[in-house]
Amino acid sequence: MLMRTDPFREMDRIVQQLSGTSGTWSKPSVMPMDAYRQGDVYVIAFDLPGVSTEAIDIDVERNMLTVKAERRPAEKSDGVQMELSERPLGVFSRQIMLADTLDTERIEADYDAGVLTLRIPIAERAKPRKIAIGGESGRKQISG
């Protein structure tokens, strides 16, 4: 039900990790995610530790889901000298092409403990349905 749109994103993510560069609005870093089906709902979970809900933007245009977030450096008081900085900062983004069988009008989003979870229900038109055969006339009727 989900399709990756850019096969080179993973390579970019590895290069960014090794070089220590941060994502920018014009070239954001990739955020890790999991996607799975749970009954009649697709669930997508994004790791965004340290990001406030105000810094997360979720957008759906047609079947393209875009999630963008920004993690800024923590405010430091005068006299603080950074010894080690390994936590990635900057802009993170992920685009996912959603199948037509998902109901993009009813997406739910929750954010807890640094994990953004989206729940996308399967559209009613995509669910299996029974077809009844009429009496002597042989008319068919779809029930759903």
At 100-117, the pLDDT tens digits run 899 999 999 999 999 999
> What is the distance between the alpha carbons of residues 51 and 54, in angstroms, rounded to a whole number?
8
Which residues make beta-bridge pairs with 116?
A: 46, 111
Q: Which of 26, 93, 87, 30 is nearest to 56 (CA)?
A: 93
Token digits of residue 4: 């990756």
Q: Is 70:92 a contact under the CB 8 Å cutoff?
A: yes
pTM, to two decimals? 0.69
Which residues make beta-bridge pairs with 132?
A: 141
Least confident of 15-19, 81-85, 135-139: 15-19
> What is the distance between the alpha carbons of residues 72 and 18, in angstroms, rounded to a whole number?
20
Q: 96: how many CB neighbours lie within 10 A of its CB?
A: 20
Q: How does residue 1 score in pLDDT terms, banded at 50, 70 and 90?
A: low
Helix (H) or strand (E) holding 104: none
Given a cut of 80, is residue 141 above it in pLDDT? no
Provide mean pLDDT across the span 129-135: 81
For tokens 């009813």, name the residue. Answer: 106
* Mean pLDDT across the chain: 81
Given a cut of 60, is residue 144 above it in pLDDT? no
The phi-psi region of residue 77 (left if phi > 0; otherwise alpha if psi is between -120 and 50; otherwise beta) is beta
Half-sphere exposure of 34 (CA within 13 A, CB side): 9
Given a cut of 90, is residue 18 above it in pLDDT? no
Which residues make beta-bridge pairs with 141?
A: 132
Given a cut of 80, is residue 17 above it in pLDDT? no
Provide mean pLDDT across the span 83-95: 83
What would the pLDDT profile of 22-64 be if each residue is shown by its tens digit?
565 556 678 889 999 999 999 999 999 989 999 999 999 989 9
Q: How long, in residues, is the chain?
A: 144
